[in-house]
Chain A
Amino acid sequence: MMTKFMTFLAAMMIALSATTSAQAQEPLRLTLRDGVIEALPFAIPTLQAEVAGSEQMANDISRVIAEDLNGTGLFRQIPSSAFISTPGVFGTPVAFADWRAINAQALVTGAVAVNGSQITVKFRLYDVFSGSEMGEGLQFVGTTDGWRRMAHKVADVVYSRITGEAGYFDSRIVFVAETGPKDDRAKRLAIMDYDGANVQYLTDSSAIVLAPRFSPNGDRILYTSYESGFPRINVLNVASVTRQQLTTSEGDMAFSPRFSLDGRQVIYSLIQGGNTDIFRTDLATGQHQRLTNTPAIETAPSFSPDGSQIVFESDRSGTQQLYIMSANGGEPQRISFGNGRYGTPVWSPRGDLIAFTKQESGRFHIGVMRTDGTEERLLTSSFLDEGPTWAPNGRVIMFARETQGADGTTALYSVDITGRNLRRVTTPQGGSDPSWGPLQQ
């Protein structure tokens, strides 16, 4: 009865609207709520070499831009073998019909000019189906040894204009490079581009190093060193590769450091009298402040992006769980209540999620949850996954995975916050403890 009535009502409204629409020029109002989630097909013809001798560089930059976009899982490169035409001179009109015919939804064109040690990269991004340019064309100028960064910068702009959020390609990772068997593993601090290129070592393997953490602007790195036989926190200047030990009480063991948002303070764990609590130190004054004071083990602190709160792990409840407290200390609030143990929490740069390591039923997972502990999602599962770190845009998480057995190896992986696009990051040796730096300036 109700269905018949609704059908009648709908029919009446069609008739009424047909009449009134013509009179009032009202648009047809619709709501689109469903869509598809699939990689967006894009074309990037090899950037043109504007100056003789620039051909190789143009090829390399085109390849890295495509690899960046493909690597997100959000884009799918259309092979050049499918192209119907190639763009004319950079900036001339585009034959959009040729690109529509191969279902390219986005088109990147560009040109490269190498003059001595200087390189200029120009590009334009087109929305093929609307036949329009997405944003204005841009030009980057740099040195030839920084050509990968220029490719990453182009890819960041393309990513941002299509997805609506900041990119993360022009960023670096600091991590612990590992070689040798599990029971005698050499560990060195290393830094690399986000995609595993340009690895540079910052320390030798004479002392065990752990948990490096970038400063907010990427100029310094905090890490834990066992050079003295006990864990101590060092501050390393990335440009000069010089280091300085963080001053803590004599004889105390300090570890698990992380910078505050302004880079002026460090939060970390300190073992005093067999008890592990969280402290904060002002780098300029050397002044310390205790933030927790319980018999439990409290560690892995991480600031919220606005600097007002700290998330950390503690076994004060009897099992390892996650807690949030004010940045000045005070009574914390437990946010993890699922089965298993939770650790290494890291606040998202967006502020909306907390990434963590979870151990349950003999498996390790990387997961995310809302800051109130709701909507927990496990993104990975393996013998040992741990140590998540956020991409600058808060969309991707990198972590370390170790395989089982005496011959087990460690490697770095990345995964989208939806759990899609799990990828291994290629490094020369094993890798653990990644920390994702900011977008470079």
Chain B
Amino acid sequence: MKGVASICFALLAGGVAAEDRPAWMTGFIHDVSQCWNITQADDPWPVIEINFELTREGVPLPDSFVMTEASAASETATQAAFASARRAVLRCGMDGYDLPAEHFELWQHVAMTVDPTQIVRQ
């Protein structure tokens, strides 16, 4: 059952067209993207996965951030990528993300893949 849940969430986040995602989920990603400042300059930029927790008010907990995966890159680049992603989530979530309280169990724990590889530098 756990595997089924993972597949469903993965589909929700990445496999379903943006217009078919729940609005709150699209809004959440959009909000974080507004604060993700891509000063990260290493080329190729590492893809990382961060895990963090949110309060019921949608405020990210600073001490909950961990990096669970990283593509091949230097230690400095990987740490910088982690700091950049964490900064984005924290900065835009200072007042709490607009997330549905009734689905708190859905978004209390977040695993966010941070993938800058499609961003064109120019």
Q: Which residues of B contact A (CB under 8 A)?
A: 1-2, 4-6, 8-14, 16-17, 19-22, 25, 28-29, 32-43, 46, 51, 62, 65, 73-74, 76-81, 83-88, 90-91, 94, 103, 105-107, 109-116, 118-119, 121-122
Contacts and interface: CB of A to CB of B under 8 A. Distances in A.
Contact of A36 (B16, B17, B37, B121): B37
B13 A31 contact: yes
A30 B36 contact: no
A23 interface: yes
Interface residues on A, range: 35 or more
Contacts of B40: 163-164
A101 to B, nearest CB: 10
A205 to B, nearest CB: 39
A74 B46 CA distance: 18
B122 A33 contact: no
Nearest to B68: A27
Contacts of A417: 121
B39 A30 contact: no
14 contacts: A9-B16, A13-B8, A13-B16, A20-B4, A23-B1, A28-B106, A28-B107, A32-B114, A33-B115, A34-B119, A36-B34, A164-B81, A395-B41, A417-B121
A269 B106 CA distance: 67
A20 B6 CA distance: 9
A30 B103 contact: no
B39 A162 contact: yes
Contacts of A395: 41
Given A30-B29, A31-B113, A36-B37, 13 more contacts: A13-B9, A13-B12, A20-B4, A26-B2, A30-B111, A35-B36, A40-B39, A105-B91, A129-B94, A164-B40, A164-B78, A164-B81, A165-B76
A130 B83 contact: yes
A100 interface: yes
Nearest to A74: B39
A239 interface: no
Contacts of A185: none
A352 interface: yes
Contact of A31 (B1, B14, B65): B14
A7 B18 CA distance: 11
Contacts of A166: 76
Given A36-B38, A130-B87, A130-B90, A28 B76 contact: no
A165 to B, nearest CB: 5
Nearest to A32: B114
Contacts of A35: 33, 36-38, 88, 116, 119
B17 A20 contact: no
B19 to A, nearest CB: 8
Contact of B113 (A18, A32, A36, A37): A32
B109 A130 contact: no
Nearest to B87: A129
Contact of A24 (B1, B36, B94, B110): B1
Given A10-B22, A14-B22, A24-B5, A30 B13 contact: yes
